[in-house]
Amino acid sequence: MCRLGTVRADTLYAMNRDESAYRYPAGEQALPALETVEHCSGPNPSASVIWLHGLGADGHDFEPLVPQLAWPGAPAIRYVFPHAPVRPVTINGGMQMRAWYDILSIDSDRGHDRQGIADSVSQVEALVAGECERGIPSGRIVVAGFSQGGAIALQLALAYPHKLAGLIALSSYLLFDGELEKRLHEVNRDTPVFVGHGTMDPMVPFSMGQAVYHRLQTLDYPVEWHAYAMPHAVCPEEIKDLGAWLKVRLG
């Protein structure tokens, strides 16, 4: 069986092709800290995975995967699942839901809420910094995300100024692709990336996942591509592959 994750609300199909700023500074006012759900696979964790859910879900969405990602002899890992802020989502009729940013339209250069994206990146950066303050080096932190959460994970990790252990983008897409090369930070140019996508995804088309892989491949990132016969979801085969990938990065 496949885990459906955010199928109930993630109705995004199109990318923003606006070629202006790739990432804005966060707003002038201090942003609230994100609420999180945490699971440690053992005492005294020596690594962390910060995992962002998709549109309309919450931090509990991927909790059940934690024991499935373990391997014999694995170090203790802290999994941090933040809740996105609740905000109206224009494309869903202004309905209030957890979202990393508003989606204004699917057919316009104004299709993404730039300030919302910047604010979410800043809030997740604060989580990474928080893990470092708790004693986890940034080189032992993986940033992961599903769908809209994957877009924020990509936005953050590719530009992050401190070395990360890895980046996971599941059923996701790149934001502001035309500005990507301006935003890359050299310290993470050799950071491993796992990109997975369902071949039957009706929410974020398979071609978008392929585009993430090919774009990073052309930029010489160590990126792995995984395709699965599933919809907008994760499935047992993908979970198995993720566990093997994490073992290499954090084992």
Residues 10, 61, 119, 201: which is the catalytic one? 201
Tokens for 187? 């310290």
The yes-or-no answer on residue 172 being catalytic is no
The yes-or-no answer on residue 201 being catalytic is yes
The yes-or-no answer on residue 197 being catalytic is no
Residues 48, 147, 171, 172: which is the catalytic one? 147
The catalytic site residues sit at 147, 201, 232
